[in-house]
Amino acid sequence: MNPNASQPESSTDELPVATQVSGRASNGDFILSVLAKRTYRMVDNRWEVDEEQEPLFGDPLANADHPALMQRDTDLHPQKEKTDVIIKGHAYGNGRTTFLAGVAVAEHRMMIHVSGDRMVDRSPADRLCFSPPQPVDKIPLCYSHAYGGVDAVSEKKYGNPFLELADQYRGDEIDLAAASPFRYPRNGGGMGYLMEFDPASFDPIPLPNLENPSQLLTPETLLYGDVDQWPLMPLPAATDWLDYGAFPRNALMGFVPLFDPQITTVLEIQAGYVPAEIWHEDFTGNPATYIAGLNGASLPLQLPHLTGGEPLMLRNIHPQFEQWGFNLPGEVPTLRTDGRQGKLNDTRPVIHTVVIDPDTQRMTILWRGSAKALRPYLPDELERMPFEVIWD
């Protein structure tokens, strides 16, 4: 997934809990980075180092139930410009039909409007209508339950033009079904994406359980109108990993989905999540935007680098507590890269990724320390190069 990075041969499977990788910084400098992962478990309201340590992961892993979504990202990026905060869990309703779930990290906030299962259907007056939400036990905080997905109604009516090219391809390297123009570019694995409404042939479809509180769907705003109007639709709301093929990660890496050129900006740019330069049909990416695309958390949870000890508060995301608050562990590893000629280079450790599972009360933290390198290094070289990780 990252052609600027080199890592040991074993990176395609599970690695130990620390390794050294070669790559480039956003300014183009060659760097060596030491990556160190630490797994904790909550014991008596304290985070303690878990006896079972999760290894580093070399390759991204697709969601087995929703192939358009990502179960986990690689741990081996040499540099991420921000800290990804991932919440692997559920929003708990305790029988409520609608409520708010939220994540707070220091001064940063993300809120999600949660609804029980609903359908959009045809009213007796031949208009769109939403069914009342059902009571909620728990809803996965995954993009499968957020706004998006494939507009199966339009795809059935108009077809997927890319499937006409199927006889020109062999193997499974290219998923032509995933290239459907009726798949929501921001989230190909969600629900509720609908272009048009024909009362004579309409069948009910499910609506998302997770929404941005400021962009709640209504029968009047549900239809997106045409395939190039997708930028006007809501941002998906979830706390899991965002796939590389989803906007804006794909655009940051130089693959901008088709859009109406009269739409001059998008919410992601207006909110300051991504640079305005990506919003051009001819944009092909650059080193800075490529590295920005390596962050894969929900946009509000891509944060300035965390360094340990920050306060977190989860609302309606713990199976027992309506509010679950704690601080990240304060221990900071000493990370040193190979400085060549028998030397080790000091680094300033920052957190690349925090993954929290409230259901099991486990957390992993991925640290990174980088220093300039003389050149890029091949995987077999990295296997022989020293580095240092010290946990105080």
223: burial class by Cβ within 10 Å (0-12, 13-18, 19+)?
middle
Q: So what's the pLDDT on residue 53?
A: 96
Beta bridge partners of 340: 343
Instruction: Give me the domain span that covers residue 78.
Output: 14-88+329-391
Q: So what's the pLDDT on residue 12?
A: 37
Full 3-state SS string of the chain: CCCCCECCHHHHCECCCEEEEEEECCCCCEEEEEEEEEEEEEECCEEEECCCCCCCECCCEECCCCCCCEEECCCCCCCCCCEEEEECCEEECCCCCEEEEEEEECCEEEEEEEECCCEEEECCCCCEEECCCCCCCEEECCHHHEEECECHHHHHHHCCHHHHHHHHCCCCCCCCHHHCCCECCCCCCCEECECCCCCCCCCCEECCCEECCCCCCCCCCCECCCHHHHHHCCCCCCCCCCCCCCCCHHHHCCCCCCCCCCCCCCHHHHCCCCCHHHCCCCCCCCHHHHHHCCCCCCHHHEECCCCCCCEEEEECCCCCCCEEEEECCCCCCEEEEEEECCEEEECCCEEEEEEEECCCCEEEEEEEEEEECCCCCCHHHHCCCCCEEECC
Domain assignment of residue 51, yes or no: yes
Question: Pseudo-torsion of CA 338, 343, 345, 351, nearest 10°?
Answer: 50
Domain assignment of residue 132, yes or no: no
Report the distance separating Cα 342 and Cα 324, nearest Å. 47
Domain assignment of residue 119, yes or no: no
- Number of domains into which the chain is organized: 1
Condensed to tens digits (0 to 9), the pLDDT of residues 74-107 reads 999 999 999 999 999 999 999 999 999 999 999 9
Domain assignment of residue 375, yes or no: yes
Q: Which stretches in the chain have pLDDT values below 50? A: 1-13
Strands 83-87, 350-357: pairing is parallel
Condensed to tens digits (0 to 9), the pLDDT of residues 216-241 reads 999 999 999 999 999 999 999 999 99
Q: So what's the pLDDT on residue 168?
A: 59
Domain assignment of residue 256, yes or no: no
CB 153 within 8 A of CB 223: no
Domain assignment of residue 334, yes or no: yes
Among 257, 252, 260, which residue's Cα sits nearest to residue 228?
Answer: 260
Domain assignment of residue 312, yes or no: no
Domain assignment of residue 213, yes or no: no
Q: So what's the pLDDT on residue 5?
A: 42
pTM of the full structure: 0.93
Structure tokens at 101: 């779930």
Burial letters 84-99, b for 16+ CB under 10 A, else e? bbbbbbbbbbeeeebb
CB 321 within 8 A of CB 371: no
Q: So what's the pLDDT on residue 1?
A: 33
